[in-house]
Amino acid sequence: MIDEAHGLGVIGKTGRGASEYHHMKKTPDIIVGSLSKSLAAPGGFIACRADVVDYVRYFARTAVFSAGLQTVSAAVAGAALTNISEIPP
């Protein structure tokens, strides 16, 4: 698991975070992060297999009272990710 709350968009040669910075050959099983740092949107994310997402959704107490991401926030984060992905290696 990698926590990209402060690394995504900031570290690594092209801003792709800790796995790029540390030259990891394998994609981490779980990536969590914040949209509110370099992606300029409220909220956070977890990127992993669907069964892990389902487990977190049903058993993580912090997810019980959370709300869905607003459309405009998703658009802002998506645009920021597009900008990061366009940085040449």
User: pTM for this one?
Assistant: 0.76
Distance from C-alpha of 47 to C-alpha of 34, rounded to nearest angstrom: 12
Least Cα distance to 33 among 84, 71, 87 occurs for: 84
Measured in degrees and rounded to the nearest 5, phi and psi for residue 9 equal 85, -5
In the prediction, which pLDDT does 63 show?
Answer: 66
pLDDT at 64: 65
Q: What is the pLDDT of residue 88?
A: 83
CATH architecture of the domain with residue range 2-85: 3-Layer(aba) Sandwich (3.40)
For the chain, 89 residues long, the average pLDDT of each consecutive 10-residue run is: 91 90 92 89 89 87 73 91 86
Q: Where are the domains of the chain?
A: 2-85
**pLDDT of 31:** 92
